[in-house]
Structure 1
């Protein structure tokens, strides 16, 4: 909702990665950032972007691409520069842009003023308009922006039902005197250029700020699946080409240990997967040939499964010329307990039925059994801790697990594959909730 740290907040340096701090910026996708044109100064300049709130992300050089120098934009420019990163940063979560802006909304911004290279946050409210710029009313003159805030994202206060959104870019401050600091003026205000205006001038920002540009609920579900093995060993999603889901997926591929693009080399997939398998010394070719389908399974292969579940993203199963062979390989990886996220570009595309019947359903049935065993053990252990050990009470000790196990038997008896999958997903959701309640007790 309102995270304390944000990957998208950028500290901008001039010269090189250790040059002087000259302003702030906003990452809007893995390739693109925004800042003020007066921070860049020269459209031919190379700027350095630091992920000020995530030290695990490497700084990156960036420069103004064609059409990114908005002072020269048709229809009247603004003090904005669009920057193209020299190399993408897919691990960084980009800013959620919003073109909507309302008078009186409470907002905040983080900049890098002199003596505050680590950042300082100021609060205010959206005031009136001044041409294409919007006035930002600070609570005190000390909270008016100053040098080092130029290019910083202006964010809405998060609420329970609406997370933080970036609605503009800090561009300047103005006082009623020529004083160098806002405190030295009798009246002083901050100014921002709204995302709406930047989108009017930049097709790139227009695309990224469109309400349909991203699929945030999909992102949350995918992140949850990668983070939590209890979410299931196999996940299947339909991601239509050109959709917000597709853009979101491009920023999530780094979460997978192994990525395979539909139509890519299956032998390469086998090779990349084996880098995560503790196979016996000298057994690489035996395992590689088995995964590729040219040799029988090595003895005790299931015992060589990685200690930590390895995740595989197959992006575009229906782009595979021979999906049956790919699914054979994925079945063998399931023997090694690899978790698999399968992406189709079209519902019912090539390989859909095979993936459903040979990967998804068997994996979810096995996962239901695993969770049922855990629930049974949790309930029985709790009964022992509470002293419920006499024969009259033991029948109720695992009551929830017994009810869920009966549901599992009814599901296996269903003949319609889609009906069975729907029932399985509901059962797994119930089992995760049951286990969560036991963990909280």
Structure 2
């Protein structure tokens, strides 16, 4: 019997499999951490779920860790500061194949998580809570967040990324661990919430939504969230990962409007009501074409860079560009445009020389000089952009 016990003690033991990990980021939440852990633990017990409550502590000095540990939660320390950093540490340490994350301020109902679990079991890979569908209690969300910040940022997210999420920044959400880990999340601050949804949409994950509620948090201190700073960080992140909306679409509109102006005003002044548009307007129209073309170039290069570095997949538009574009076509096309501009400039010089280098009528001169300058600049820009594309196409080490 003793020998059998000794043999059994040499066999490595496996931890029991866990289906669900409830992760809470924590930074000095002593006032509310106990009630959150109790609700989450009761939820696991009442629904007969194999799970754990995991506290990702971000350096609390108020005893939050000891309170959570005494109530049976598993506590890990995450030294890197930030909401996103704490959650990334918690996700990495989670033992469950499914994870539900939520703030430890008692604003979310950890006793009503079954819709998240059932949706994940049904095949969802990221399940977002929607506080606007489930209900927001009086005083739970500042009016600026409720009527402006969240609706606007959620609309931007739906527009840019085509994901049907009505509450882009709900802090209560569930996901499959392996699905989220392959996204390569890296934002350490509050914009982590946007990064998860954006990259899930770009990666084509099955993103769904369930109603949830929001109650006033139970803390006496101010929340960690900073309205304007964190709102800007969310918007900045969404713009960074949407080069079509940041560069291409505005650039096409600007260049298109400018091109119409250049084409019309190069022939002579144009009257719109009492206003007469002349060479000064032609100059600004040419500027719009230049700026717009540069924005489009930035957008193309940003898309290529993102695809090359695995930030997003190549869409049908990029595939079409790849089939059509070659460096040689870009160089020859840009070279032809630049030569046309130089030829126009040469014709002006010849005209000036033929007149004995005397004074010219400025308006007549500028109607040729501005298009000549524009064509030359666009041609050189096309050549340089083509070579930059070739540089991005070089194989990585």
TM over 0.5: no
Larger Rg: 2
Q: TM-score, normalised by structure 1?
A: 0.26
Query: Normalized per residue, which structure has more strand?
Result: 1
Query: Normalized per residue, which structure has more helix?
Result: 2
Q: TM-score, normalised by structure 2?
A: 0.28
